């Protein structure tokens, strides 16, 4: 089964509304003739409406940087799946390491967010990753397996294949340190096998596994050449139109 590569830009807490519009326009232009790959961008919530208008006639996918599990109610500061659908989001990042480490989100919460997104037809980009201490203690695969098992608890086989997993080693995010292609391929292969153990072969071969962690215009080609790397989740380099254009045009 061939998996369509996905390049996803996470703008984090950057850009004014005007800057977001400008960047989105540049990305629409840059992706107009792309074939056989998908491009997703996740602007800050306050820019979603403005960016949705700009993406309207393009193939670029609008995403949120997080998503609540509930449809509405007393959840101050959260945004619900129907609200995100209303504004045009087709995907949502869930479990980003900054949410886990700076805002205390745990696996149970992340699992609820994934379920909530799937119930409303929003595809979660489910982020997992080990810290440097966990890697140095040789615990990487165990940590990742726990994150996947808990994050995907009770997610049905029908839904599992459409989820996107993003492997983002915490030590490589925003640090300029990229995992080696060997480390990335080893983890992605492990994750694909894990999906086969948790679900079945078809799910394992259809699920897209992205790498994230200091992906840039220079290292993207080598990363994308790995057999189990189906795309990239890009932070810093997604804020520069020229760099992101080069990344979406990976060879």
Which residues are designated catalytic?
96, 168
Among candidate residues 216, 198, 132, the one with its CA nearest the CA of residue 159: 198
Sign for the CA dihedral angle at 129, 105, 112, 119 comes to negative
Applying CB under 6 A, which part among 14-22, 104-112, 144-152, 232-240 lies near ligand PEP? 232-240
List the interface residues with ligand PEP, window 65-124 (CB under 6 A).
none
In the stretch 7-26, what mask flags binding to ligand PEP with x, by CB under 6 A? ---x-x--------------
- Using the minimum distance from each CB to ligand PEP, give the nearer residue, 171 or 190: 171
Q: Is residue 191 a contact partner of residue 165, using CB atoms and an 8 Å limit?
A: yes
Instruction: Pick one of 140, 235, 243, 247: the residue that binds ligand PEP (CB under 6 A).
Output: 235
In whole angstroms, the minimum distance from the beta carbon of 65 to ligand PEP comes to 9
Check if the beta carbon of residue 19 is closer than 8 Å to that of residue 51. no
**What is the C-alpha separation between 34 and 180, in angstroms, rounded?**
27
Write the DSSP string, 6-59: EEEEE-TT---HHHHHHHHHHHHHHHTT--S-EEEEE--GGGHHHHHHHHTTSS
User: Among 68, 152, 233, 247, which residue sits at the site for ligand PEP (rule: CB under 6 A)?
Assistant: 233
Binding of residue 213 to ligand PEP (CB under 6 A): yes
Report yes or no: 44 and 63 within 8 Å, Cβ to Cβ.
no
Smallest gap from residue 168 Cβ to ligand PEP (A): 5
Regarding 236 and contact with ligand PEP (CB under 6 A), the answer is: yes
- Quick one: which segment of 63-71, 102-110, 139-147, 235-243 binds ligand PEP (CB under 6 A)? 235-243
Contacts (CB under 6 A) with ligand PEP, residues 151-210: 168, 173-174
Q: How far is the CB of 154 from ligand PEP (least distance, A)?
A: 26
Nearer to ligand PEP, 127 or 204 (CB): 127
Which residues is 64 bridged to in the sheet? 92
Number of residues that bind ligand PEP (CB under 6 A): 14
Strand partners, 62: 41
Measured from the CB of residue 226, what is the shortest distance to ligand PEP in angstroms? 16
φ, ψ of residue 177 to 5 degrees: the values are -95, 115
Contact yes or no for 115/155 (Cβ under 8 A): yes
Smallest separation (angstroms) from ligand PEP to the CB of 7: 12
Say how far apart CA 145 and CA 143 lie, in whole Å.
5
Name the site residues for ligand PEP (rule: CB under 6 A): 10, 12, 168, 173-174, 212-215, 233-237
């Amino acid at each position: 089964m061939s998996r369509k590569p996905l390049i996803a830009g996470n703008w984090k807490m950057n850009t004014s509304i005007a800057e977001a519009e400008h960047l989105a326009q540049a990305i629409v232009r840059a992706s107009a003739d792309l074939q056989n790959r998908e491009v997703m961008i996740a602007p800050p919530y306050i820019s979603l409406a403005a960016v949705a208008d700009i993406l309207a006639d393009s193939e670029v996918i609008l995403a949120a940087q997080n998503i609540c599990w509930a449809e509405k109610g007393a959840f101050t500061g959260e945004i619900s799946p129907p609200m995100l659908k209303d504004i045009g989001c087709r995907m949502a990042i869930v479990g980003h390491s900054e949410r886990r480490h700076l805002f205390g989100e745990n696996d149970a919460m992340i699992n609820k967010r994934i379920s909530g997104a799937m119930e409303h037809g929003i595809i979660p980009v489910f982020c997992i990753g080990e810290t440097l201490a966990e890697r140095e203690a040789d615990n990487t695969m165990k940590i990742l397996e726990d994150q996947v098992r808990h994050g995907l608890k009770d997610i049905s086989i029908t839904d599992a294949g459409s989820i996107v997993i993003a492997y983002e080693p915490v030590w490589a995010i925003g640090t300029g340190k990229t995992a080696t292609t060997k480390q990335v391929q080893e983890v992605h292969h492990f994750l694909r096998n894990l999906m086969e153990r948790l679900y079945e072969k078809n799910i394992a071969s259809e699920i897209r596994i992205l790498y994230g962690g200091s992906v840039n215009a220079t290292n993207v080609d080598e990363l994308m050449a790995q057999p189990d790397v189906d795309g990239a989740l890009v932070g810093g380099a997604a804020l520069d139109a020229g760099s992101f254009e080069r990344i979406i045009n990976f060879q």
